[in-house]
Amino acid sequence: MTGPAKPIRRCSPRPLLLATLVLGGSAVLAGGPDAPARSPEDAAKVAAVLAPVTDFTRPEPFEARPAGAATVPALPGADAFGLPSATLGFEDRMRFELGDALFGKLWVAAPSSTRASDGLGPLYNARACRDCHIRDGRGHPPEAPDDGRVSMVLRLSLPGGAGPEGIADWLATRPDPAYGRQLQDLAAPGHPAEGRLEIAYDEVPVTLADGTGISLRKPSYAIGAPAYGPLSPGLMLSARVAPQMIGLGLLEAIPEADILAGADPDDADGDGISGRAQIVPSAETGAPMLGRFGWKAAMPTLREQAADAFGNDLGLSNPLRPAPWGDCTPAQAQCRAAPHGQDPGLRDGLEVDAESLDLVTYYTRSLGVPERRDPAAPPVLRGKALFHDLGCAGCHRPK
């Protein structure tokens, strides 16, 4: 199991930020940012679980069930990440199934006869959340230069710009004036897509410690056939593969204080790791919050993460991203003037209303974490020992 990374600005990936405190086969989930202080008894139990491992000859007592009572069976096949948390009751299971349906829903461009599903784009990256989060797992980049983009996006930024109020040391960037913050390589009929993600690989030879020679592939990215004018000089490209979805509710349950306790911006402990918390603006609260979600921890809550994905990836308006044109910029006048799915008499005048956004949020929060396979196997235990010996646990905290 991988756990909450020592917070590092610029590169704190969501899938590695997973933590559960397990006692006697049940999970002690420590609530959200405003969780009450633990009692001395609970604090002692938590400290016992989080104590550094010293015995690598056998698994720790809780290791086979990384989500405690919420752990689900490890199913073979492609649906291993699609089960609901084992602790959901009947009514919660219904909410989960409704969220699952919305997560896999195929949206269409407006206007259409299916008014409950229109509003896609006009510029977009996918028609459904699950197009990128394949079977609730991670996506993958194109395997060859002539493959189309698969379950990944290309983020765009330029250096400079104004930082959010109240956040020190913010690394300010700004969107491309024509293409925005993300390359949308798909478009509704009558609209040109922004461009084509192009990827090339260079083979890099590497010699391992035992003399074995291997070859690694180093990717480079470019935008082909830009349709809305030239790209800005100095444009920075950041490829993002869709991460897996399990464990996100556990991350959201960790109190801010527990994550911030791992921050060490000046390397006061001398371990060579200068972890920094990512503090980000919140669209819901209007105040700075701890970033937890996204490859660079840019979103503070799962609801904001879902709203941002609906707006950027699918071009769908929602309570936190009310513009019906998604990431279309003022320079893309045709896109902004296109028909949309906002109807005053339907879905609160949005393309994704608050109820639908909440159901998708609940679904992503409640996906079950599978039990570990073979935690007592000698190769697994040897890998665990090496993980600690090499210092990996200094950033990727395993519990």
Task: Specify the pTM.
Answer: 0.88
Do residues 304 and 283 make contact, with C-beta atoms less than 8 angstroms apart?
A: yes
Buried b (16+ CB within 10 A) or exposed e, 224-243: eebbbeebbeeeeeebbebb
pLDDT tens digit string along 342-374?
Answer: 998 889 999 999 999 999 999 999 999 999 999
As a whole number, mean pLDDT of residues 41-46 equals 89
Do residues 293 and 280 make contact, with C-beta atoms less than 8 angstroms apart?
A: no
pLDDT tens digit string along 77-131?
Answer: 888 999 999 999 999 999 999 999 999 999 999 999 888 899 999 999 999 999 9
Q: Which helix (H) or strand (E) covers residue 363, if one does?
A: helix 354-366
What single DSSP character describes residue 7? P
List the domain boundaries for the chain: 87-254+276-368
